[in-house]
Structures are given as structure tokens and as C-alpha cells.
Amino acid sequence: MLKIVIVFFTLLFFLAGCSAKKNDLLFNDFGNKQDKFDKIQKTNKALIKQDGKTTGFITALYDNDTKYEKFLVGIYAEEDLKKLQFLLDGNNALRVEELQNNDNRLDKIPLKNRWSRYFELTFVKSDLNVIKLQIINGKFWNKEMIFSKVPNYLNSKDNNIF
């Protein structure tokens, strides 16, 4: 009888230890997914089309900084990206830095791939709640992406939101 009790408590001890570790993993995984979900909400995308055919795409993550307006932008395009220009509400970027694919800042981007070129953009802080990022590649294409600093229903002028 004593052997059965010892085996039972030993088995219970091991099972309790395993379940605690799995719960920690689940909570960590949930936290990572929640952070990625928040980042996806701040991400915008645009397709690059020429002659009715999609030739590339742009993803941009708005990083709400306290001193500046910052974006992490990924561009995949068939044509060369030699004459890129970045504007925020018509104003040029203060700083444009091209990132390498192994840069740890890219961990913030929920949608990334190894074929895109990535840039960190820094602009003067805007007082507007809705800002427009414009990306121009010479004469090839011009794309605009709209970002909201606050939930979209706060930008509505209609008092009857629901």
C-alpha cells in the first residue's frame, strides 16, 4: 500500500511540474500574439500596379513615438528603387535609414519577408490625428497610406457613431 501512495504522489508531482511550465508557455505565447495583433492594427499596405498587373507591394508600420513620427516601411518591387522619396503630409523625412534584413528593429514588423527592402523613417511630430504617408519611386509609382493616431471612430464628425 505504501508503494502505491509513493508512486501516486511521485506521479502527481511530475504532472504538476509539467503543467506549470506549459501554462507559462501559453501565457508567453498569448502575450506575443497580443503584441503582434496591436502591431498589425498599426500596419498599412499598398499594392504597386503597372498596366493592371501587380508588380510589388508596400507595408508600413506606424510606430507612435513621443518626439517624432516614425515608420518602418518594407518595399518589394520589380523595378529598381533608386529615386525613393518619403513624405508625411507633404513634408520630407528628417531621416531615412535603410535596414538590413537581420536588424532587430524588424522584429516589430508582423508582416515581413526576406525579399523586401526595409527603411526606418523619422518625421517631425504632427498634431493631426490622421496622417498621410506618401512613397514615391521616381516616375514609376506614387503610393499614399493613411494612418490614424486614434481609433477611427474618434475621427468621425458624426455624433451617431453606433
What digits encode the pLDDT tens for the residues 31-47?
A: 555 555 566 667 888 88
Residue range 7-34, pLDDT digits in tens: 776 766 666 665 545 555 545 544 555 5
Judgement on whether residues 22 and 63 belong to the same structural domain of the protein: no
Tell me if 8 sits within 8 A of 109, measured CB to CB.
no
Domain total for the chain? 2
* Neighbouring-strand partners of residue 120: 72, 97
Judgement on whether residues 14 and 61 belong to the same structural domain of the protein: no
For residue 109, is it within any domain?
A: yes
Judgement on whether residues 36 and 99 belong to the same structural domain of the protein: no
Write down the residue that cell numbers 498596366 correspond to.
51
Q: Can you tell me whether residue 48 is helix, strand or coil?
A: strand
Cα angle: 85, vertex 90, 96; to 5 degrees: 35
Query: Which of 53, 75, 74, 72 has its CA nearest to residue 61?
Result: 72
Specify the pTM.
Answer: 0.69
Listing DSSP states for 67-125 in one string gives SEEEEEEEEEESS---SEEEEETTEEPSEEEEEPTT-GGGGG-SS--SSSEEEEEEEE-
Judgement on whether residues 83 and 99 belong to the same structural domain of the protein: yes
The whole domain housing 31 covers: 1-41
Residue 9 grid cell: 504522489
Is residue 114 predicted with pLDDT exceeding 60?
yes
Residue range 38-81, pLDDT digits in tens: 666 678 888 888 888 888 899 998 887 778 999 999 999 887 77
For residue 162, is it within any domain?
A: no
